[in-house]
Amino acid sequence: MTRILIADDHALLRSGLRALFESMEGMEVVGEAANGHEAVELAAQLEPDIVIMDIQMPEMDGIEATRKLASLRPAIAVIVVTMHEDDVSVFSAMRAGARGYLLKGAEQNEVTRAIEAVSRGEAIFGPAIATRILKFFAASHRPAEPFPQLTAREAEILDLIASGLSNPEIAQRLFLSPKTVSNNVSLIFDKLQVADRSKAIVRARRAGMGGL
């Protein structure tokens, strides 16, 4: 039997969650809390397996309550169930120690899956939140552009310059006129604040360009 404590400042939502969990086989709601302080105190008294935690609550919000539970009762898993899907809320909950994050309105099978996963010691996030987390980490690990002041075309030309190509060779490779390449090269030198091609090549190669 999975023992659940519900923490939400809206009595109607608590009763709805209680009805949902009590309709599920193997789950028992052992208590309800209307704020973060009550959640921490009741969790210490009742020792549930899982706390379903809202974020916005009076006296102590769900993030702080999650942090206290992670410190005082690390065996109790917290699943945040909230309306908030912004990055600040999601990552604040994760840093506080939440093992799951679902949006209010999640389907019953999604909630069931989250509780079962967290009971096994896993972490789980709803589909919308999981997508947001993946995008966040993909963006944070994407290499920064070495010269953000350059346009995409200018960066492409600088890369070819660093590879040792002449203006006519660059024009031929990119299907541009020699005049267009020459104009872009002048703009590149100006933006990089270099006097000539050799200095531009040095800077570009130091930045990892010129891989031909």
Which of the two residues, 210 and 5, has the higher pLDDT score? 5
Q: What is the pTM of this model?
A: 0.62
Query: Contact 182/209 with Cβ under 8 angstroms?
Result: no
Please give the Cα distance from 63 to 95 (Å, whole number): 9
Give CATH 1.10.10.10 domain extents, the chain: 152-206
Q: Which two tokens stand for residue 48?
A: 């549930």
Residue 89: which pLDDT band, with cuts at 50, 70 and 90? confident
Band (137; pLDDT cuts 50, 70, 90): low
Residue 74: which pLDDT band, with cuts at 50, 70 and 90?
A: very high
Pick the CATH number of 2-140 from 3.40.50.2300, 1.40.20.10, 3.40.50.1360, 3.20.20.330: 3.40.50.2300
The pLDDT confidence band at residue 85, using thresholds 50, 70 and 90, is confident
State how far the Cα of 3 lies from the Cα of 9, in Å rounded to an integer: 20
Q: What would the mean pLDDT of 165-194 be, rounded to a whole number? A: 93
Q: What pLDDT was estimated at residue 144?
A: 61
Instruction: Assess whether pLDDT exceeds 90 at residue 15.
Output: yes
Q: Is 80 within 8 Å of 55 (Cβ atoms)? A: yes
CATH of domain 152-206: 1.10.10.10
β-bridge partners, 102: 81
Mean pLDDT of 154-164: 93
At residue 201, the pLDDT reads: 94
Assess contact for 28 and 4: CB atoms under 8 A.
yes
Spatial contact of 43 and 50, defined as CB atoms under 8 Å apart: no
In angstroms, the first-to-last Cα distance of the chain is 62
Residue 87 has pLDDT above 90, yes or no: no
Average pLDDT over residues 114-139: 77
Question: What pLDDT digit, counting tens, does each position of 188-211 carry?
Answer: 999 999 999 999 999 999 888 886
Q: Looking up tokens 């096994």, which residue turns up?
A: 120
At 134, list the tokens: 């993946």
Average pLDDT, the chain: 88
Q: How far is CA 101 from CA 27, 45, 124, in A?
A: 19, 24, 7
Does pLDDT of 183 surpass 80? yes
Q: Of residues 108 and 140, which shows the higher confidence score? A: 108
What was the pLDDT predicted at 83?
A: 86
